[in-house]
Chains A and B, each alone.
Chain A
């Protein structure tokens, strides 16, 4: 396979098409507009259906309808749009349907700005939906990884009958990188849907019995059992979906914890610090839920400080502190509002934090 140079958003859309996506629903919002644009002309060529929704509320519910009736579904949005989708995502968790959601995130709160941000960390890992539900969240650090994760996310969503969320920041959507695209898997025709999804509502002529996809459970004991069933799935996902990358943890005095675009800047900062004789390492969570607590057990004896490095006001700190469990001091290096710090800024602030704990 040869690599092609693609803009992130277009590569993400192409990855979904190649994964066998039948339906895409989207509403224009910056910085992910190239995704609905690309889908509008490319998805029909692959045999899929593109529909521009009247709102993110409609988009997530269109996704529910398509998923409940057995189609592979992809939706994308950016931060405020994801807030609008939260009700639908909780409903989809309850009704147990597979949907792949891409958040190309920007600065907030509110309308915020359109530059890259990671201020949706709490929104994606804790959800804005009501009730006891979980959505696996995968955070790529580059276009290739995002393409690969989107491609795989369809299988994860099918396996757990639950939404899976890919959390890419606006930087990744807007930049270009060489990427190797995965092979096209083709779309399941409607008459074959029940072979792999016996629960899907396709019309009773197509499967034994009658299928109903629902959320309402008025009897408390029935609802409690259902939530317990969901959590059996989430417990399995919490074991099976933990993903992270690490570097230099054995020797590091400073351990950065960063995901997405920030992890790439930290990798640069580690080289710059090394040139100054300071050993630094990195934990890069790829799964934000489940959070890779185990990565922190690899931190070596020379560690003086663990630094959460984020494009927000420190939303990941809670998870970092829980994983650190009091073993090392925890610091924060952050910018927000759509500002991405330089690696030099990270180096200077990391050195100050290191001095502060010595």
Chain B
């Protein structure tokens, strides 16, 4: 399986990458990061803890599949302007929780709000319009469409997307030009400008991840939800992808992402929420969480035969998917 190779490769390159992270983070003195860290400094390290300025608040979310309880989150809050990592062993309910928050699945119980707006029962597209945009674990690049069309699709409130207006180009042509200009700017930022006219299906895995993220930004979201942004990405691209995620925070967006690689989590996230068997079992800044016995138990319990390697100063959890 190619993903195995990718995971192995990533692991091999970990030490090298870490050195690079250290360089960028220290050199930058990032304002957004400092704000997020300061805001979260006094928050206790316990599951379901309230945050000073939450953008997303979830209460009593339960999702059952037949007899199996996939998600059972009593309370969770995401701090505005922070990068929050959602981690946990396979089957912990991370992606299901993601789907519930973004309206791609509906919970059996519970309610949640975004920017103070109740999202219960809201369709996925409405959630996205409110400013909470997600990406997917298996990248959903629109293969048989050009990169630029992929980008343009992300823009909100397009006049030409109404049926009757579509037939009359005069109505939407000017808006279309400004959308393309914006798309070109983002493509340049994500170094995809040379691929503008290519079919998205011809891009590499990492480029697709970048495209998906850039496309999500076309709608100027308040919050970006990334489901395993690093999965299947060539190590050479991981670096720039991480840079882009940190960039989102600097621009005032909130990021929630699912990730397995603890080095990635440690290097970019301000806060970590750990899920195990559908529940939130721990919360806190990366270092505190990784030394939490409950977290190590959860991983060991689910992965007694999988790699749990001590790489010197930190634990690194890697999961071959």
- The answer on A and B forming one complex is no
User: B-contacting residues of A (Cβ < 8 Å)?
Assistant: none
